[in-house]
Structures are given as structure tokens and as C-alpha cells.
């Protein structure tokens, strides 16, 4: 008989059923036992530290009682997960998770986070889903971006059902990437959860440490200070250059403006912003007059950057402001076209006066709504 045991994460995690199985075993193999090794020693349980394949362990268990033990949860080990799908294998997880059969999963209505991890590991297994097994970081990279945007859209709509669904999809993408790395032996889901938990503690020193903070702004200041320390950012330039290049352009511009302002490069006054915008508009006008496309693009970029500075000064989210304006433009155009077509006219054959009149009527209808 073969028993798979997740030894738990701390001393004292071993359950009575795990101890009973260990004491009845003929051979005990342990992989990455961690803190649980002290428990085994205290119980005078002999074991071999080694790494065997699922096939080798199944072979060894044909004639003897064998226990295969791993530190932490049994779900954190690929070999353990493979063994738990074999008939006749008994699993004990001292991290309190009972492995479910495929049939039980089909019937289950409510799932835990451990169920979720197991399902994804099951899909990546040799007898799992061919598509899931074939995926790499690169092949599903765009999925994370799409799912994040869909969650943001659900938040904007204040749709709880959609938010719940999309949050799950974002979580799935994050865990999928962690599982790919777990299979490579570089880090796993436990490391991801441990890392973000540690970050929450070390950056909230006004809660878990000796710092103090007044209000949300004070708390954010403490967070930023600790973040720079953790990332070994000794200058504000380090923080400025740490803004991801894959961010949407306006969002990246806002992040950089915010970080340069914190670093003393603060132009945030109404006079300065008006001056920057005026100079930018004049430079763009000159570039347009020259007809030089490269010069026009550069001047247009500088003008947009001046608007990012202005948004920061006003406390406006430029990205959201533009999205709101885009939404209004789409609504106005939709209403405009509807009015034109309702009168049996061609949108391309309107006189300037007709176009203007329809625009005014569309504007009134949209704002009235």
C-alpha cells in the first residue's frame, strides 16, 4: 500500500492519522521535509530523504507498506499529485486538504482554494488537458491583460456577479503562471502567497511596526518609503525607471509624473501647468507648419505629457478622464448617426449646417439621458 503524506509547514502539524500511517510503514521516503523532520525524529520514525518518481514509488509499494512524504501540502509536489490520482493510493494532508476524485469534483458545488489549486494541477498533468499542458508564460501573457481589463470593466459597471467571475479569471491567470514556475522548480504558489503576505506586513509598518501614519496619505507615504527600501531604490530615479514599459502610455505618464514630483521635480502649480501646456501647443503648431512627421509626433507627445502634469496637479485620474471622454464621444456619435439615418440621409452627404444641427441635437439627447 502507498500513502502520500503532506507533512505540514510547522512542527506539530502531523496528524494522528499521519503518525499512524508512518509507524505502520515498512519504508518512508521524504522529500523537502522542512520543519516536519524534527517531528519525525521526536517520534523516532526512520526515513530516507530522496527524490523518487511516481513509477518508482508505485513499484516499491507493490510488496511493502510505503509512505511518500513531502513538506507542506501534498498539493505542492508534482509527484504527490500524480500519485494521488492512482487507484489504491491513500492521501493524508496535514495541511487539511482531502484530494477529490474527478467524479467528486464534477458533483461538487462549492470549492476551496486548495480545490482550485488541485484542479489546475490536474489540468496540467500528463493525463489532463492537452491545451493547458501546452501553455507557456508567453502563450498566455495576453490573457492576463485581457482578464484584468474585464475585471476593471466589471468594477466600472458595479456588476457584482461579473466582478466575482472576472476576479476568479484574474486569480486563475496568476496561479497558472506560478504553476508553470513550480513545474520548473523555481518557485511555486506557496512562495507567491508567502511573498505577497510578507510584503503586506513589511510595507505596513504603521500597522505591524513602529511607524505611525495619519490618514490615507500618511499610510501611502509609509508604504512608498518601505517599497523603495525593499526594492533597493536609493534614488527617486530608480523608482521612476521602475515603472513598467508595458503600461498604457497615459497610465505610465501619470506614474512617472507622480514619482518625479515626489523626487522634488515638482512643477505642479496652475501657472507652471498653463505655461507648459501653452509652450506644448505652440511647439505642436510649429511642427504642423513644418510638415515634419517626426517633429509633429515629438511635439504631440510633449503636449500630452504636459496634460499628465496638469492632471496630477488637479488630482484628476487622466486615464479615467480620457476613458470617460471616449465613452461620451461614442455615445454622441451613436445618437448623431441615429438621428441622421432616421431622416433618411447619408452621413457622408450632409451640409456643414446639417452636420452642426444634428450634432447639437445629439448632444442635447445624450446629456438629457
Can you tell me whether residue 8 is helix, strand or coil?
Answer: strand
Task: Determine contact, residues 151/171, Cβ cutoff 8 Å.
Answer: no
Alpha helices in the chain (DSSP H): 16-24, 36-42, 54-60, 78-84, 102-107, 113-124, 130-134, 141-157, 160-184, 189-203, 205-208, 215-230, 236-240, 249-262, 270-290, 293-314, 318-342, 352-368
Element (H, E) at 339: helix 318-342
Residue-wise pLDDT tens digits, 114-124: 889 999 999 99
Q: Which pLDDT score, from 0 to 100, does residue 124 have?
A: 92
Residues of the chain with pLDDT under 70: 96-98, 267-268, 369
Q: Which residue has the cell 507493490?
A: 62
Q: What pLDDT, on the 0 to 100 scale, is given for residue 283? A: 92
Q: Is the pTM of this model over 0.75?
A: no
- Tell me what pLDDT residue 97 has: 66
Q: What is the pLDDT of residue 268?
A: 65
What is the structure's pLDDT at 101? 84
Amino acid at each position: 500500500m502507498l500513502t502520500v503524506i503532506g507533512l505540514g509547514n510547522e512542527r506539530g502539524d502531523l496528524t494522528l492519522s499521519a503518525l499512524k500511517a508512518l509507524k505502520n510503514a515498512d519504508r518512508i521516503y521524504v522529500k523537502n521535509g522542512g520543519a516536519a523532520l524534527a517531528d519525525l525524529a521526536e517520534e523516532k520514525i526512520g526515513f530516507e530523504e530522496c527524490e523518487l518518481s511516481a513509477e518508482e514509488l508505485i513499484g516499491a509499494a507493490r510488496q511493502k507498506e510505503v509512505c511518500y512524504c513531502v513538506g507542506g501540502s501534498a498539493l505542492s509536489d508534482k509527484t504527490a499529485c500524480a500519485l494521488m490520482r492512482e487507484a489504491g493510493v491513500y492521501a493524508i494532508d496535514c495541511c487539511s486538504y482531502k484530494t477529490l476524485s474527478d467524479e467528486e469534483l464534477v458533483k461538487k458545488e462549492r470549492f476551496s482554494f486548495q480545490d482550485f489549486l488541485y484542479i489546475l494541477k490536474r489540468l496540467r498533468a500528463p493525463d489532463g488537458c492537452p491545451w493547458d499542458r501546452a501553455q507557456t508564460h508567453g502563450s498566455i501573457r495576453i490573457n492576463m491583460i485581457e482578464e484584468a481589463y474585464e475585471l476593471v470593466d466589471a468594477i466600472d459597471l458595479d456588476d457584482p456577479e461579473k466582478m466575482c467571475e472576472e476576479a476568479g479569471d484574474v486569480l486563475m491567470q496568476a496561479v497558472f503562471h506560478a504553476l508553470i514556475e513550480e513545474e520548473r522548480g523555481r518557485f511555486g504558489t506557496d512562495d507567491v502567497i508567502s511573498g505577497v503576505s510578507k510584503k503586506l506586513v513589511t510595507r505596513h509598518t504603521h500597522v505591524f511596526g513602529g511607524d505611525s501614519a495619519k490618514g490615507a496619505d500618511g499610510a501611502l507615504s509609509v508604504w512608498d518609503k518601505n517599497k523603495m527600501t525593499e526594492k533597493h531604490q536609493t534614488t527617486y530615479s530608480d523608482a521612476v525607471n521602475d515603472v513598467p514599459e508595458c503600461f498604457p502610455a497615459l497610465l505610465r505618464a501619470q506614474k512617472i509624473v507622480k514619482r518625479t514630483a515626489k523626487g522634488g521635480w515638482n512643477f505642479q502649480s496652475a501657472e507652471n501647468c498653463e505655461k507648459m501646456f501653452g509652450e506644448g501647443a505652440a511647439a505642436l503648431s510649429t511642427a504642423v507648419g513644418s510638415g515634419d512627421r517626426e517633429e509633429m509626433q515629438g511635439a504631440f507627445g510633449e503636449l500630452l505629457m504636459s496634460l499628465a502634469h496638469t492632471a496630477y496637479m488637479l488630482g484628476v485620474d487622466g486615464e479615467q478622464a480620457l476613458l470617460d471622454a471616449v465613452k461620451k464621444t461614442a455615445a454622441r456619435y451613436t445618437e448623431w448617426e441615429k438621428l441622421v439615418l432616421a431622416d433618411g440621409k447619408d452621413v457622408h452627404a450632409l451640409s456643414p449646417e446639417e452636420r452642426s444641427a444634428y450634432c447639437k441635437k445629439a448632444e442635447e439627447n445624450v446629456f438629457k439621458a
